[in-house]
Amino acid sequence: MNRNHIVTQSNRLIEARHMKPLSAREQKIILTMVSMIQPDDEDFKEYNISIKEFSEMLGLKGHAKYEEIKEVALHLQEKTIFIPDEDGFITTNWVASQRYKEGEGVLKLSFSPYLKPYLLQLKTQFTSYKLSNILSLGSGYSIRLYELMKKWQHLGQWEYPVEELKLKFGIEEGMYSRYTHFKNRVLKKAVEEVNEKTDLHIRFNEIKQGRKVEKISFTIQHSVEKEIQIPNSKNDSKEPKVLSKEEEMRTRLNMLADGYQFDAAFFAQLHQGASLIWKEDAEKELELLIRYVNEEKSVENPLGFIKSKLKTAWEVHQDGIAYTFADLKPAKARTAGRTGRTEVLPDWFTAEEEAQDAGAPNPELAKEKEQVLAKLAQKKAIKLKH
């Protein structure tokens, strides 16, 4: 198993409702299959999973464990998901077929063809993470929580109704009908395990209507240093340590930043958000924003300002409109002289205490978004006249 395998899924698939929930081991088999898909694959293949290698990764030992993995695989063909689509919905099973020959020690599995739009040739609206981050999780609820949080990591927060969240976890109707049972037996345990064993740190807050908890608000932080790695095999134990492209970009942009720096956790969010919006132009846009912050002396909190601008860009991007920081111009009148900035991450970004009630939408961001949309609409109208 390649420790660098990446799991990439359409956001619609991540948001899908698990009508017959997958156990933790079933999810790990499915996500291992997903990690074997290559970006340029035009069709599904038959994916080979070594029972020995997979058992070792899960810490399973003995012949009985081989039988257990094969039994898990047999149940996969019964597991269904409900995927909302533009014209309605799709209900399908995860696995279309499986083959196993005694003595080979390899499961040969194939995906349902209905999953092609959600796993192949993904260009936009997808989420990726390292397979190694979910292999240490022992609960299926923890894996589902991790995937959902990973999708919203670039924004740093997510809010969702309790009853709909249960459906995404695959909790059957009637189970955990009392919120306190859901909170203590599912949500808290999943959050604790994700925080302990993965590259994410999650906090949640209850949003009430009267005395009833209607929604859960999540705060999401990412730490590159906590990325879980599958132990190196004997063949690659002497591999030289190579910086990732993300870390190389962070180094270059930190050299450009004047009086402030991006730590790994903060930049991971910044990088993912910028990559989703601008793809290969992400570094260029971040460089434009950093140069603006360096020159604009009215910006007292560079890191907070940069993140707020990225959120505005994301909202505009969600509306299907191109956005660039090339239009940002420093104010003409600025105070003379320059004092060095001693910048730390904003309190709201690093605090580890329980998150507070979700605040009202930021009127400044909303106003800026409206101005950008109005300006773009005006340009479009002028083009149409000509």
Clarify whether residues 29 and 121 are in a common domain: yes
226-269 confidence digits (pLDDT tens): 665 544 444 444 444 455 778 888 888 888 888 788 887 778 87
Contacts of 31 (CB under 8 A, 6+ apart): 7, 131, 134, 143
Copy the structure tokens of residue 268. 């991971």
- For residue 158, list its beta bridge partners: 218
Rounded mean pLDDT, 90-107: 84
Residue 280 has pLDDT above 90, yes or no: no
- Output the pTM of the full model: 0.59
Looking at per-residue confidence, does 30 or 230 come out higher?
30
Clarify whether residues 25 and 106 are in a common domain: yes
34-67 confidence digits (pLDDT tens): 989 988 889 999 998 887 777 776 666 666 566 7
Clarify whether residues 9 and 120 are in a common domain: yes
Rounded mean pLDDT, 347-368: 50
Domain final position from 108, 135, 162: 135
Clarify whether residues 1 and 118 are in a common domain: yes
CATH number at residue 103: 1.10.10.10
2-18 confidence digits (pLDDT tens): 545 789 899 899 989 88
Range of the domain at 187: 139-223
Q: Please give the tally of structural domains in the chain.
A: 3
Residue type, 277: I
User: Tell me, what's the pLDDT at 136?
Assistant: 82
Residue at 375 is within a domain = no
Clarify whether residues 67 and 155 are in a common domain: no
